Amino acid sequence: MADQLGTRRGARHAVVIGGSIAGLLAARVLAEHAERVTVVERDRFPEGPEPRAGVPQARHTHVLLEGGQLALEQLLPGVVDELDEQGAPRLGMPRDMVQWQGGRWFRRTASTAYLYTGARPRLEHLVRRRVLADPRITAVENTDAVGLLGDAARVRGVLVRERGAGGGSRPLEADLVVDASGRGSQAPQWLAAIGAEPAHEETIDTGLAYATRVYRDGSDGGLADCLGLYVIPNARQPYGGGALPIEGGRFLVTLSGLRGDEPPTDGDAFTEYAKRLPHPILHDWLTRAHPESTVRSFRRTANVRRRYDRPGRRPAGFLATGDALCTFSPIYGQGMAVAALGAVALRDALADPRRTPTTLRVQRALCRASRQAWDISAGSDRTMPGAVGNATASRPLDRPAAWYLDRVQARYTGDPVVGRAFRSVLMLTSPLSALFAPRVARAVLLRPVPPTPAEPPLRPEGEEGGTG
């Protein structure tokens, strides 16, 4: 393990705070470099694919983007096949989805990207079972991390306290501590308590709130001839909604709105709220569908990026990953994919034979892994009405890029060339530079906005009754 970071030359113990997907995958990587890894988890892990109390958004809609699938396969080969075997729905985009954005319905042309829409607890269970089967990795459950050991020069472990035991904290010494405790991370306070400098935080908060309910389809024909439906909000139309399939032939239906007009948790009012969407297709489906759960809401949706990649008086031996490093508005479905991409970045930084994996160098690699997702989420959210935070202002240099991206978004709903490129960026499989490739740029700059369906396309193109 490196002298400064503590991950080479005989490092003994690494601690990961948080048994989330990000924390478990980080533990998987660290097990190749440390003699033992301890995952400190505040809750008790469920036996099966059930929601954890510490993941309040677990019952809401989640998607696993293609970039996340590829990263997971690198870390846990075969896990995507397991998702298939356990019935997680796989949707091809744009063919399998009736989708609206920016005043246009998407053409349902041949799919160029795929995502999984199964319930998050199932994926988390698969990851947890794989990771904790490693004898080098131990989970300490029902235990809170309450502080850091060490000083401003170096972290030497964590203070932990068993929940509900009524006793005090105890030290858990370690050569490396990784904070994967989520968007509610207490690391800024912990760092200040040992004389170190917390990371600068960038925030953009639109006031997005969403609510979710489980349904079974109540119509004979299903959700038209498609697997899902999604209405994406924007600055001119701030309401969002979707019905995406999960295991067992059910759907998760999520509705979203902004501060002051949040979706309700009463069942009848939830259905009524769907009338705010720009087309009645989802509301009409809800009136026929059979609810199988109560309505649950979630409101902590700000984009927050902690700039541990910037120089500061911070200790060696401490890293942040997952939502503890960078958290996004959930409307973009990036969190699980970025958790996996971060673990791949951690693996590559620790194994790089050309460079000593210092704390700052590895932390910068983790930050780079989340940068594209941040640019997508923050770039969209800073234009939303009522957005607040210290990162809402745009720079003069952003204006030409915003002009170009507006043209991209106007065309990607109907132009297959632009659509393929933009989907690859959104799926985190291609860099943003893919949008400026010559073939794409010609379509964006020289072609008119292509026509798109005037009404929801209920069948894929090329099939009888489809939009041609």
Predicted TM-score of the model (pTM): 0.94
> For the stretch 235-255, what's the b/e string if a residue is b when 16 or more beta carbons lie within 10 angstroms of its beta carbon?
eebbbbbbbbbbeeebbbbbb
Average pLDDT over residues 57-78: 95
pLDDT level of residue 4 (50, 70, 90 thresholds): low
Given a cut of 70, whether residue 464 has pLDDT beyond it is: no
| Bridge partners for 255 per DSSP | 211, 241
67 within domain boundaries: no
286 within domain boundaries: yes
* Ramachandran angles phi, psi of 154, nearest 5°: -155, 135
Given a cut of 80, whether residue 5 has pLDDT beyond it is: no
- Is 218 in the same domain as 289? yes
Q: Which domain range does residue 278 map to?
A: 209-298
103 within domain boundaries: no
- Asked whether 137 and 131 are in contact (CB, 8 A), the reply is yes
- Is 265 in the same domain as 180? no
346 within domain boundaries: yes
Check residue 2 and give its pLDDT.
41
Check residue 167 and give its pLDDT.
73
The mean pLDDT value of the chain amounts to 93
Average pLDDT over residues 313-321: 97
Q: Where are the alpha helices (DSSP H) in 313-452?
A: 335-351, 359-381, 398-412, 416-426, 438-446
Q: Which amino acid is at 190?
A: W
- Is 132 in the same domain as 274? no
Give tens-digit pLDDT for 220-254.
Answer: 655 667 889 999 999 999 999 999 999 999 999 99
Average pLDDT over residues 352-370: 95
- Asked whether 123 and 64 are in contact (CB, 8 A), the reply is yes
Average pLDDT over residues 333-348: 97
Check residue 415 and give its pLDDT.
97
Lowest mean pLDDT: which of 118-127, 308-317, 389-398, 421-430?
389-398
Give tens-digit pLDDT for 27-63.
Answer: 999 999 999 999 999 999 999 999 887 777 888 999 9
69 within domain boundaries: no
3-state secondary structure at position 306: strand
- Is 189 in the same domain as 309? yes
**CATH for 235:** 3.30.70.2450
- Is 227 in the same domain as 284? yes
pLDDT level of residue 288 (50, 70, 90 thresholds): very high
Lowest mean pLDDT: which of 3-12, 92-101, 395-404, 406-415?
3-12
**Closest C-alpha to 17, from 127, 161, 202, 151:** 161
- Is 160 in the same domain as 217? no
Check residue 53 and give its pLDDT.
77
Residue 129 CB-density burial (10 A; 0-12 exposed, 13-18 middle, 19+ buried) = middle
Residue 31: both structure tokens together:
């097990």
Check residue 335 and give its pLDDT.
95
Percentage of the chain lying above the pLDDT 70 cut: 95
Final residue before a domain boundary, out of 298, 315, 330 = 298
**Closest C-alpha to 380, from 451, 330, 436, 324:** 330
- Is 225 in the same domain as 332? no
**CA 355, CA 349: separation in Å to the nearest integer?**
8
Check residue 222 and give its pLDDT.
57
Total structural domains within the chain? 2
* DSSP label of 211: E
Final residue before a domain boundary, out of 377, 411, 429 = 377
- Is 287 in the same domain as 227? yes
Given a cut of 70, whether residue 384 has pLDDT beyond it is: yes
Average pLDDT over residues 310-328: 96
Percentage of the chain lying above the pLDDT 90 cut: 86
Average pLDDT over residues 433-460: 96
- Is 179 in the same domain as 43? yes
Check residue 466 and give its pLDDT.
54
